[in-house]
Amino acid sequence: MTEYSYNIHDWLTPKIEEEAIVLDLFAGCGGLSLGFEAAGFRTIGYEMVDAAVDTYNRNLNGTCYNQFLEVGFDYPESDKIDIIIGGPPCQPFSRFGNQKGIEDARDGFPVFIDAVKRLRPKVFLFENVANILGRHKWYLELVVAELRKLGYVVEYKIVNAVDYGVPQNRERLICVGHRSTFRFPKKEQKKVTVAEAIGDLMTGFDENSKFLTPEQERYIAVYEEKSHCITPRDLHPDKPARTITCRNLAGATSDMQRVKLPDGRRRRIEVREAARLQSFPDWFEFCGTETRQFYQIGNAVPPLLAYKLALALKETYHSSPKMEAEIREINIFQEQTLFDTVCV
């Protein structure tokens, strides 16, 4: 184990101390929930992928239910839910998808808004791809406007997980709603590198390792030449990793995450390596086939980032609420600031 893996082992061990329940919508394998449990909260999750549900229930204290969510769903223990978190499916807005936005049946924002409207949590947080601020920014602004109508101060920001101790460049939009004051966590000065995260794993291999074939090596060489790739797409020990995705973990593509061994051979990275690069501790076990495990990892919110956000949100949760008039003034100011920024 590396020092980094020891640290996340300790930091991300659940330490339940709060009575309030965190409701995690579209929970996946539990990356967000793990961060909140490490910050002291109890969790309940909802997810429709069975292997991800099994992973959540194997590793977290909370329970995850295998459930397709719809507007109007009746959540149990609703009187104890004080925080709502979630990652509405990002495929409708991802630059790697068809970018159908609200025309995509997987759009989960109506469910998230409905849950906030009916459960009235003290605070909420959702995560999505940074690309939602691209061609679908108008839809994000619509979502934010609906949430502000419910009496919350709503603010959002693009954060990069690498700035919060995760050994991976991963930009995501984080949106927070509250009735008090919220401060995004401070950035770490030092970036964690691939070697610091998986240096004890990346030079090894076994009979299950998947090495690139000569045909794949030739294809990648052509791809990198034609795309004018200055830096090969291998993992570089002295740098943080590039973004972990389902596509570059599970797919045998030119973009796959791969390790170059001392003897010159290349192999695809393995589940535990990918998990550490997403800041999952080594005790966290994934369920399902290897492909399903890669999908869970690629879709997850890095638990270490979730932990830093949860600690910041915890302060807000325990703060005194503002008056409704003050909340309206803050939202008007934020909307005007956004308008001025767009018009400049």
What pLDDT, in 10s, does the model give residues 33-59?
999 999 999 999 999 999 999 999 999
Same domain as 307, residue 294: no
Report d(CA 217, CA 223) in Å as an integer: 10
Same domain as 143, residue 28: yes
Same domain as 148, residue 58: yes
Report d(CA 286, CA 276) in Å as an integer: 12
pLDDT tens-place string over residues 117-139: 999 999 999 999 998 888 878 88
**Number of domains composing the chain:** 2
Residue 276 lies in a domain: yes
- The residues, any chain, with a CB within 8 Å of residue 128's CB and separated by 6 or more, are 87, 88, 90, 93, 140, 172, 173, 175
Same domain as 176, residue 320: yes
Q: Which position has the higher pLDDT, 253 or 193?
A: 193
Please give the residue range of the domain that contains residue 238: 194-298
Same domain as 326, residue 278: no
Same domain as 66, residue 19: yes
Neighbouring C-beta atoms of residue 318, cutoff 10 Å: 10
Confidence of residue 213 (pLDDT cuts 50, 70, 90): confident
Helix (H) or strand (E) holding 42, with range, is: strand 42-47
Same domain as 249, residue 158: no
pLDDT, residue 335, reads 67
Report d(CA 140, CA 178) in Å as an integer: 17
Check which CATH number belongs to the domain holding 124 and give it. 3.40.50.150
Three-state DSSP class for residue 332? helix
Q: If 0-12 CB within 10 Å is exposed, 13-18 middle and 19+ buried, where does residue 161 land?
A: buried
Largest separation between any pair of C-alpha atoms in the chain: 67
Quick one: DSSP state of residue 48? S
Same domain as 203, residue 131: no
Same domain as 146, residue 45: yes
Same domain as 173, residue 221: no
Check which CATH number belongs to the domain holding 272 and give it. 3.90.120
The overall average pLDDT reported for the chain is 89
Q: What is the pTM of this model?
A: 0.90
Write out the two tokens for 308: 């830093």
Helix count and strand count (H, E) for the chain: 12, 9
Residues annotated as catalytic are 90
Same domain as 25, residue 50: yes
